[in-house]
Amino acid sequence: MTRESLRSTASPAVDVAGSAVHKAARRYVAATAGVAALGTAWCVAYLTVGAGTEAFAYIFVPVGGALATASVYHMSRSGDLDPVAGRFWRAVLVAVAMITIGYGWLAVDMLTHAAQAHVRTMPVPAAACAAIGFGIAIWAIGRVPIVAAGGVEWWRMLLDRTIAFLGCAAVLWYTGLAPMLSAREPWSPQAMVLVGLGFMAAVGAVTKVSYVAGGPIDRAAIRLLAASGGVTAGIVAVLAVRFGYDAAVPAQAIVMPLTPVLATLGVAAQWRANLGFRRDTARGGMLLPYLAVAAVDVPLIALAFGAPLHWPGRVVVIAAVVVTVLVTVRQFIAFQENARLLRNARVQEERLQYEVSHDGLTGLANRALFRDRLTSILATTGRASVLLVDLDDFKTVNDLLGHGVGDRLLVSIAQLLRAEAGNDGLPVRVGGDEFAVLLTGADADPEELAGRLLAALDRPISEYRLLVQASIGIADAVPGATVDSVLRDADVAMYTAKQRGKASFVRYVDGMGEPVLAHMQLGGELRRALDDDEFRVVYQPIVRLEDNRVIGVEALVRWHHPTRGVVSPAEFIPAAERTGLIVPLGRFVLRETARQAAAWLSEFGPDALQEAGLNVSARQLHDPDFVSNVAAALAESGLPCERLVLEVTESAVLRGQQVSRTLYELDRMGIRLALDDFGTGESSLSLLRAFPAEIVKLDKSFVDGIEIDDGQPAAAGARQAVARAVIQLAHALGLDTVAEGVESAEQAAVLRELGYILGQGYHLARPMTAEGVSRLLAHQQAMAAADR
C-alpha cells in the first residue's frame, strides 16, 4: 500500500497525530544535522585559519548526542509503541544517554585541558560510560525478536548468523581495527575499545536485521542505528591509520557527529512505522552468509598478493578457517534437511497416490483405480469379469443402529471380499454400500465366487454380529466392450437380482437390460410428470354398510400420461419409492386432499363428511420434514386435524425408531392414524398395542370369498374367522374398523352380520373425481332433507 493510499484511509485523528510526529522527527533530524554542519564548518575554519582551539572539536558529539537522546525519549514516551518495541527503545535511550555522557565527559576534560588536547587521551571513566552505552546497545539488538524457528531450522539460522558475524568482523578487523593497533601513532586503548564496540554493534545489527520478521521494531531503524556506530567507527579507523593523531580533530568535529544524525534518522523511521508507513518487508537472510564468506576472502586475497602476514593477518586466516568449517557444517545440515524433505515428499506423494486410488474407510481400491485397471485389461487381454455387490436394506442398519455401526459393517464386508477374492480378484468399494470385484485370473469362476460370498453372508459378521444380505450382478468383458458397457451390464444384472427377491446373484445376458432400462426411464418420466402436473387425485368413498351413507373418502393418485393414458399405480408407485420421488408426490397428494376436504367441509357442513384419508409410505415417514409438511397442509387448507386420516401399512410401522417417533408426533397433533391392509403382516396383534392407531382396515384378502355358501359351515367359518377375530379385537381395544375390497352385496351382508359398520370397495363406490364426490354428497344431503 502506498503512502498516499494509507493517508486516504486514515482517520482525521491519525492524520493530525502523524503530522505532529513528522514535525517532531524532522526537527530532531534537522537539529542534529545542524550540529554536524557546524562541526564541519568549524573544522574547516580551524584547519585553514586556525580558528579556536583543538578542544572545541570535542563539543559537537555530546551536543548532537543530547539531541539524539531527546528524540529517543520523545518517541519512547509517545505511547504508540508495541511492548517489545518499547523495551528495545528504552534500552536504546539508556545506551545513547550513556554514550553522550561519556563523550560529554571527554569534551569537558578537553576544554579544561585545552593546552594538552592534542596529546591527551579519553579519561577512563568517560570511556567506561561510552563502553557501557555500546554494550547496552548490543544487548538491546540481541533481544530483538527474529523469525520464529525450531529444530533444524534454528540451528541453520544460528550457523548463518555466526558465519555472517565472523565474516563481517574479520573484514572490519583487517581493514579497520588491526591497522589502528599497528599504526605508527597508535591510538589509546580507550579509543580502540570504543571503535571495536562500534564495529560489534554494527555487525550485530546487520546480522540481526536480516532475520527480523517484520515485527514491531522497524528494520530500517535498526539499520540506521547500525550505521550510526559502524560507519562512523570505520571512517574514524581509516583516518587514524592514514593521518595518525592529526585525524583527531576531523574525526571529532566532522565524522563522529554523524552518529547522532543517523540515530535520529532511525528514530524517525520507527515513528513512521508506528503510524503505518512501514516500507520494509520481512526478508530472510539467505544471502548474508554467502556475502560474509566472500567478505572474509578479501583479506585472504590481499595476503595472497603479497601483503605481509603479521598477527592481524593470522587472525583473519583463523577466522576464514572457522567460517569454512561452519559453512561445511551448515551445508551438511542443509544436505540432511534436504534429504529429509525429499523423503517426506516421497512419502507424501505415495500417501496421496494411495488416498486418490483407495477408499478411506475400508482401504479397498476405489472407483478410479477400478476403472483404470479395467481399462488396462480391456486394452490388452480383454479377459475379465466384474461382480457388482450391493448390500440389501443397508439403510436400515444406519437408521436403527447408527452410522458408526454401519461403517464397521462396511469394513467387515471389505475384509470378507479380500479373503474370498484372493489373488485373482481386486476388491473395490464403488461407493456407499456398493462393492465390486474385478476378476482377471484365467481359472477364476465369477459364479463360484458369488456363491461363496452369499454363503459367507449367511453368517453374522462384524463385531456386532449382524446378518446382512447382498444382491450380486455379474458381467463379462466381451470383445469390443468398454469400461462403461461392462459396468452397465453388471449394474443391470445386480438390479435384476434385487427384483428377483434379493440375496442372490444374476449373470448378465443379452436383452436383460431392456426391462430394467424401461423401469429406470419410468423414474425419469415421474420427475417430468411432477413438473408438468400430470398427476390427479381421485377419491374412493368409505360408506356405512347399513344405509350406504358416505362418511369419508380415501385419496388415491392417478397418472394421466400424455401418450400412455392413465398409468396404473401398481406400475409407478414402486418406481416412485425407489427413486425417492414418493416424497414430493405424497406431498402433492397430502395438500390436494386437505384442500379438497376443507372445501367439502365448507360447502356441505361438518356432518356431510367425517374424514379424508390418504396412504403414507415408509419412505415418507423417514423424511424429517414430513410432520412439518402435514402441519403446513392443514394450516394452508384450514382442515381440522381430526378430519385427516393417515393410512400406514404394517410393514411401514416396523421400519424403525424414526418412523415410530413420527407416528407418535402425528398422534399428538390430533391426526387419526389407520393401520392399512391389516392381517397381512407378521406382527398384527402386537402392533395394535404398540402403534397409536384409531382405525383398523381389514385387508381385501380376508374379504374375498367371505360370502361363499357351499353348505359346509366349517369351511364358511374358517373363511370368516380372521374377519371375526379382527372385529372382536378392535372392539375390545376401542378401535374403528373398515372392511376393504367389498365387491358384492353378499360380502357386505356377511360383514354387517359380523359387526362391521364401515366398508369400501367397488360394490359400494368406485374411485371418482372430486366433482363426483361433490355430487354424491349433494344428493345425500338432499335425501336427508327430504326425509326430515
pLDDT at 351 over 60: yes
CA 650 to each of CA 282, 576, 787: distance values in angstroms, whole numbers, following the listed order: 73, 20, 42
pLDDT of residue 523: 74
Q: What is the pLDDT of residues 542-599, one digit of tens each?
A: 999 998 999 999 999 999 988 888 888 888 888 888 778 889 999 999 999 999 999 9
Q: Where are the alpha helices (DSSP H) in 565-648?
A: 569-579, 582-604, 618-622, 626-637
Q: Where are the alpha helices (DSSP H) in 146-256?
A: 152-172, 178-181, 189-209, 219-243, 248-250
Q: Which residues contact 57 (CB under 8 A, 6 or more apart)?
A: 39, 42, 43, 46, 110, 248, 249, 252, 253
CA–CA separation, 761 and 754 (whole Å)? 17
Instruction: Examine the residue annotation and report whether 740 is marked as an active-site residue of this protein.
Output: yes
pLDDT of residue 231: 65
- Check residues 345 and 233 and name the one with the higher pLDDT: 345
pLDDT at 372 over 80: yes
Q: How confident is the model at residue 284 (pLDDT cuts 50, 70, 90)?
A: very low
Q: How confident is the model at residue 441 (pLDDT cuts 50, 70, 90)?
A: confident
pLDDT at 212 over 70: no
pLDDT of residue 737: 93
Q: Which residues contact 423 (CB under 8 A, 6 or more apart)?
A: 441
pLDDT of residue 229: 67
Residues 751-756: what's their mean pLDDT? Answer: 92
**Weakest-pLDDT range from 582-591, 679-688, 721-730:** 679-688
**Weakest-pLDDT range from 86-95, 172-181, 346-355:** 172-181
- Check residues 230 and 61 and name the one with the higher pLDDT: 61
pLDDT of residue 384: 86
- Check residues 204 and 104 and name the one with the higher pLDDT: 104
- Residue 767, sorted as left (phi over 0), alpha (psi -120 to 50) or beta, turns out to be beta
**Weakest-pLDDT range from 316-320, 355-359, 771-775:** 316-320
**Weakest-pLDDT range from 263-277, 359-373, 754-768:** 263-277
pLDDT of residue 180: 58
Report whether 425 contacts 439 (CB < 8 A).
Answer: yes
pLDDT at 181 over 60: no
Count other C-beta atoms under 10 Å from residue 733's C-beta: 12
- Catalytic choice (4, 740, 743, 771): 740
Q: Where are the alpha helices (DSSP H) in 542-581?
A: 569-579
pLDDT of residue 587: 94
**Weakest-pLDDT range from 84-88, 156-160, 463-467, 655-659:** 156-160
**Weakest-pLDDT range from 209-213, 216-220, 267-271, 610-614:** 209-213
**Weakest-pLDDT range from 235-244, 439-448, 614-623:** 235-244
Q: How confident is the model at residue 9 (pLDDT cuts 50, 70, 90)?
A: very low
CA–CA separation, 343 and 784 (whole Å)? 94
pLDDT at 379 over 60: yes
CA–CA separation, 220 and 97 (whole Å)? 21
Q: How confident is the model at residue 59 (pLDDT cuts 50, 70, 90)?
A: confident
Strands 565-567 and 549-561: antiparallel
CA–CA separation, 442 and 666 (whole Å)? 59
pLDDT of residue 188: 63
**Weakest-pLDDT range from 108-117, 363-372, 619-628, 734-743:** 108-117
CA–CA separation, 586 and 599 (whole Å)? 20
pLDDT of residue 161: 65
Q: Which residue has the cell 571503535?
A: 195
Residues 96-124: what's their mean pLDDT? Answer: 83
pLDDT of residue 3: 39
Residues 380-406: what's their mean pLDDT? Answer: 83
User: Apex CA 467: angle with CA 466 and CA 471, to 5°?
Assistant: 135
pLDDT at 202 over 50: yes
User: Apex CA 570: angle with CA 566 and CA 571, to 5°?
Assistant: 65
CA–CA separation, 401 and 656 (whole Å)? 10
pLDDT of residue 5: 38
Residues 602-624: what's their mean pLDDT? Answer: 89
pLDDT at 454 over 80: yes
Q: What is the pLDDT of residues 392-404, one digit of tens each?
A: 878 778 777 888 8
pLDDT at 406 over 60: yes
The residues facing 439 across adjacent strands are 385, 425
- Check residues 365 and 339 and name the one with the higher pLDDT: 365
Residues 463-484: what's their mean pLDDT? Answer: 85
- Check residues 396 and 460 and name the one with the higher pLDDT: 460
Q: What is the chain's mean pLDDT, rounded? A: 79
- Check residues 545 and 354 and name the one with the higher pLDDT: 545
pLDDT at 6 over 50: no
- Check residues 421 and 245 and name the one with the higher pLDDT: 421
pLDDT of residue 600: 95
Q: How confident is the model at residue 668 (pLDDT cuts 50, 70, 90)?
A: very high
Report whether 477 contacts 384 (CB < 8 A).
Answer: yes
pLDDT at 82 over 70: yes
Q: How confident is the model at residue 758 (pLDDT cuts 50, 70, 90)?
A: very high
pLDDT of residue 56: 86
Q: How confident is the model at residue 4 (pLDDT cuts 50, 70, 90)?
A: very low
pLDDT of residue 690: 66
Q: How confident is the model at residue 293 (pLDDT cuts 50, 70, 90)?
A: low
Q: How confident is the model at residue 1 (pLDDT cuts 50, 70, 90)?
A: very low
pLDDT of residue 766: 93
